[in-house]
Chains A and B, each alone.
Chain A
């Protein structure tokens, strides 16, 4: 049920948004296709989440994966879109393949296709481990966990924005759903399972946000942040698994509650961010951060919504992202053996990693928000921008209000989380503490409300002083320079430059910088691009090398049928001899 709420909420809002964003008049060729598959993917997602049979699960999974492929390739006349689609199709089928293997193993172990907890006596350690590894592969691929994330950035960037919102907000969470479900069915998890998830989660989180810092494309940037947030969620699940292995109920409750709440929260604020990004793209017809600027004045509602999403995704109070990160933080602090005898030190490093991720995310969103909405327009695109219509702003406002709501009154969602945790802990014989008893949600609300009150108070005070003291307007102080231009502003790339040098060993940026020579240098250009570390830096060279190696056997395939017959004869004789 925890997963069904976003599955129904976000596509519904996205659908309303889509009526204006991707209207039939503007897109007569692919509008119908888009809407058909948009509905289909939602239905398939809901079916996956409720199916209790392996075959039904696989059928729904495949419908979901294929409809998402058609959604990714909505604008299939564009070569980059087709490439993103192929990449997605390949990875999603690797994921499906692992699922086939997973359910086959389960069928052998239990003798039925019904999905449910594995009986302790039937499960041998080998089978259980195999199931866990396959689950991490299959669902990690779908969720975009770091070694398997290669499809995610391009697929999210190339689709229409309300589809990106659906994919990032809901579709990748189905991978988390699968992971949580499968791990709850397996008896007696060893500690290294949770440890593996913690490492994968921390890796996803840091890599995702560092890669995001290097992006110029607004939607690609948001896509990398999805990888980061999936990392945070998986860290929560890992903490819960470690807690189950070591029989420490508090870690289970805090880790899982944090992960589940973050699934919701990420669904809300990431959908909000993608929809606002869509509004920006609708208004400016560009995705490049370095071409935008100053949109806050022409698109005030979108700017406000993006700001809410940005504050929420950085995990700052008083919004919802803070609450879920707080749960995981407290879980991590408790794992150090505070207030109880048991301690498991490695999990304590979760807290500084989360702090690093949070601070990097803040840097990245200050960059994105500043480059898009603040300052002055850097290109013609920005100057002709306009605010989008109500069909697009209303769904964004609903999401923004929900973000604020969960941030101010997290106590409302606590009972739902308790249900989810009870369902996950199958042997719920011992007392499971409620989320609200472990985390002072009341104090969080009070803190948020006080913050809001103080902000209101100070705003009023400042406004009063300003009207009393008088105010004037002038140009920004530019050290007396005579002809400042919008192109002299700090761009998104220059903003991230210092962090880029600090994390250059992860980003591997490809920079084409000119050398300025002579007293009067001529016109020149500067280009930089941050490729995906795994796809472009590791996988592509490896595959290219493999292709080169294998192509040296090309001479065998000469197109001569006699030669092929000879191969068959030789092969058969070899087989006979071997026998």
Chain B
């Protein structure tokens, strides 16, 4: 890819991003549109993170929302505990001004803890795969959600809130659309990391596992190690998306990370196409927008969307993109961005 084109895309993207932030800053885009953009970002991170395991590595992990929950709760707890004034003293543990700098750190810590939780799935995956692994991940999802339901510290089934206050605190110091900024930044960061991973000889080890695990192991790929890394990486990113999700909404409860959320993730990955990063991104965008457009239909939304997906599957049984990237359909894009 040409150096100039690469620069063009970085500068162009930067300008767009800045414009968006300025418009948000001066209330030129209304809050609803902002929140939709943020949900798209969260869903892109969630879908692409799942595509590492389900798309590239070809395992069938069904309980990804569990890791999202871990990230959401860990980062929410941290931000609320650190930056909310104590009732008695009126002081928070750390001065609220620090929250501006520490916010991304907190989100990343949430991701790291979720990544460690990913071991729960990674270790059983050494011995088993396919549908057995699907069951293990479903069980992990149930375990995480019911554990949260039973933890009074985080509000049990009522959920946990207070994150909005932290964000308002940040905005009170310097007015800035923080959440919009961080969601987009983390989205770009996540795509960037996944692409770097998957284009390296090291990361391609997981594609080798998908295509022929036995051959991979015998041809010197340490499959256990690769699975461990892939699961931790994937659940870590899911944790980051969870942390962002929690702070965008300002409220989390275990119910929002049920198996239904995992299903949404699966839909986005397989709709996009197994092993296509741009496919996951596109389907995350389409899916989120679709959810918003159909919102007035209320419960019927959840009849129409699955029906549409069933229909899509009939016409494109390998997902929208199959294992192709955008650049395979529009070769000119290769000049601007290296997809594979």
Do A and B make up one complex? Answer: no
Interface positions of A (Cβ within 8 A of B): none
